[in-house]
Structure 1
Amino acid sequence: MLEGSWQGKINLVYEYNEGKTKVKSAYHQSPFKLQRAFYPEGDDICHSVILHTAGGIVGGDILTQNIHLLSNSQVFITTPSATKIYRTQEKKAFQNIVIKLENNTYLEYLPQESIVFNECQYQQKMTVKLGDNSTWLAWEIIRFGRTARGETFTQGQWLNYTEVWHNHQPLWIDRQSLQGESNLFNEINGLASQPVIASLILISTDKDKDVIGEIRELINSQFSDLIVGVTTLQQGLLCRYHGYSVSEAKTCLTAIWQLLRQKYGKNSSNKSRFWQ
């Protein structure tokens, strides 16, 4: 376990100006750091990588991300590696992520997986505020315990809150939690000893695009042996994965992401070099 704790912050503002989405302002406080923006798809979409330089999240950490897209900007955000959430004896770790999308914006927020160590105490809250004709596409991949070491999540607490709003009205509110002492890791009505869960969410105030049928066809043709489901949300869709493998979850969600990119006129063959 790492020693010490952080009160890290990263504030990012993006703008679309003269035919290019740029980082208008960036403030980062350790352990966060922002890599230089790059443009593998052309100037319209700015690709950003957020680093956590401390190597993992420890008890007592209070981390904040504020991401703001000004009108007409398009952004892709990922991380270079997995996030490790270490065990702690007493203090809880917190992360608060606030995303604001102004009118006619598009954000893909696709960090790599989080590894939740046994005996961790962690709470994350994400709030997304959408403008008109804006789209938020995100995923989250969680592994409970270091499976390769035979570790399971039998002690500790993991809390995860997500809220998406438009014009002060809720579009989607999701509450997830896992108490290590509750036996839910092993019980059939819990994780049934399958340590990986993942979600892909698309919520858009843009015109509806009917893709649920195509996603189900994709799942049935390529991933029929996995536990994957997709459902319609009020203004979007939600995919869930449950299984044993992070790489399996990534492969499945990446295929769904590429299909959604086609529908929104993006380069469906593009993948972040950090995912390789």
Structure 2
Amino acid sequence: MQRTRGRAAVTLAAAPGGARLTHLHQSGSAKAMLPRIHTPRPEVVFLNTAGGLTGGDRMSFALTLAPGASATATTQTAERAYASSGGVAELAIDMRVGAGGALDWLPQETILFEGSALSRRTVIALEGDARLLMLETVVLGRIAMGETLTSAYLHDSRSVTRDGRPVLMEPLRLTAETLRRGGASAGLRGARAIATLALVAPGAEDALGPLRAAFPGDGVEAAASAWNGKCVARFMGSDAALLRRALVRAITTLRGGPLPRVWQI
């Protein structure tokens, strides 16, 4: 059976207030767009024209910000991991931010379908005093269709380094066994959507108070901590729409501005 292959890579150099494009590569089903916006800080929008990922697919997105460059990167829509007829879909995300640069990596949700199998690796390398705001959201099943996952596989590895040294490691592994014990106190406790939001920057600890103040009330559980230039928040909820609204409040608090234009609220 035919399988999807794709690679998109973008390089941006510093420009007054943001960045400018210096390199763009697109192949296969992976694309990158830089829509026209009304601020000097560009938005890079990655997309998979195949419409989703299934077993055997291979996709990669890469972004390099030269020293002093600032940009926001996101995905055009939610990424869908479809049921696999064999093998595991692989998605690799590699990003580099030069000293004095700033990256907001704010992809939209990843939705796991029943029987899906996805391995995703995200590696972000920071140099010097570079700043990173990073989000990852996983939705367990097509909630609007009443789908409840009983069999799915996700291996999600996220790592952030600064000058070659690890500063944040986020491994996540979900299997059919995980889903079976999802109601346990050490499991998902019935959550249908989960997210991690992390600010990695000098002085990130100062964001903890405002972030906690932005946490929602009913419907979404959230907690945050801050240490050694990091502020990390985790969210979980039974409804993906409620979780998304909670994330909007948290991201807006940390960004000090609106979300990328492609986000639909």
Settle same-fold status: TM greater than 0.5. yes
Whether 1:6 aligns to 2:22 is no
Q: What letter corresponds to residue 231 of structure 2 in structure 1?
A: L
Whether 1:257 aligns to 2:257 is no
Give 1:232's match in structure 2, choosing from 226, 232, 239: 226
Could you tell me whether the CA contact under 8 Å between 2:205 and 2:231 is conserved in 1? Answer: no
| Aligned residue number for residue 85 of structure 1 | 81
Distance 1:83 1:20 in 2: 27
Could you tell me whether the CA contact under 8 Å between 2:55 and 2:89 is conserved in 1? Answer: yes
Could you tell me whether the CA contact under 8 Å between 1:51 and 1:79 is conserved in 2? Answer: yes
| Change in CA separation of 1:208 and 1:118 when aligned onto 2, cut-off 3 Å | closer
Whether 1:173 aligns to 2:161 is no
The unaligned stretches of length 5 or more in structure 2 are: none
Distance 2:209 2:152 in 1: 39
Normalization by structure 1: what TM-score?
0.89
Q: Cα RMSD over matched residues?
A: 1.8
Secondary structure of 2:262's aligned partner? helix
Whether 1:215 aligns to 2:211 is yes
Distance 1:7 1:235 in 2: 37
Secondary structure of 2:5's aligned partner? coil
Alignment of 1:132-211 (within 5 A): 132-182=128-178, 183-204=180-201, 206-208=202-204, 210-211=206-207
Distance 2:15 2:236 in 1: 41
Secondary structure of 2:214's aligned partner? helix
Secondary structure of 1:251's aligned partner? helix
Distance 2:114 2:227 in 1: 33
Q: Name the % identity.
A: 22
User: Deviation of residue 224 (structure 1)?
Assistant: 5.6
Give 1:244's match in structure 2, choosing from 215, 238, 241: 238
The unaligned stretches of length 5 or more in structure 1 are: 263-267
| Aligned residue number for residue 273 of structure 1 | 261
Q: What letter corresponds to residue 231 of structure 1 in structure 2?
A: S
Q: What letter corresponds to residue 236 of structure 1 in structure 2?
A: K
- Which string of whole-angstrom CA distances, capped at 9 and with x for unpartnered residues, describes residues 140-162 of structure 1? 11111112333222113111111
Distance 1:17 1:147 in 2: 43
User: Deviation of residue 225 (structure 1)?
Assistant: 5.2
Give 1:115's match in structure 2, choosing from 89, 105, 111: 111
Could you tell me whether the CA contact under 8 Å between 2:10 and 2:32 is conserved in 1? Answer: no
